[in-house]
Amino acid sequence: MSRAVAIVGSGPSGCYLAQALLKAAPALRVDLIDRLPVPYGWCVMEWQLIIRARRA
């Protein structure tokens, strides 16, 4: 049985949660839902900083 999660909002919390879920369960299907057609704000502008902070 495959599992799926829907995350509403592609802001920093939504992107971080999606990344954490996929790291913990790579086979999980994660849908990131937002009113805009593409991620916006911190999710796009600060993504590299978020990744570096997680690795530290």
Domain boundaries, the chain: 4-55
pLDDT for 6-26, tens place per residue?
999 888 888 889 999 999 999
Q: What is the pLDDT of residue 12?
A: 80
pTM here?
A: 0.65
Q: Does residue 45 or residue 15 have the better pLDDT?
A: 15
Q: What residues contact residue 35 under an 8 Å CB cut-off, 6+ apart?
A: none
Nearest one of 51, 54, 47, 53 to 12, comparing CA atoms: 47
Question: What is the DSSP secondary-structure string of the chain?
Answer: ---EEEEE--SHHHHHHHHHHHHH-TT-EEEEE-SSSS--THHHHTHHHHHHHHH-
Share of residues in the chain with pLDDT > 70 (%): 73
Share of residues in the chain with pLDDT > 90 (%): 38
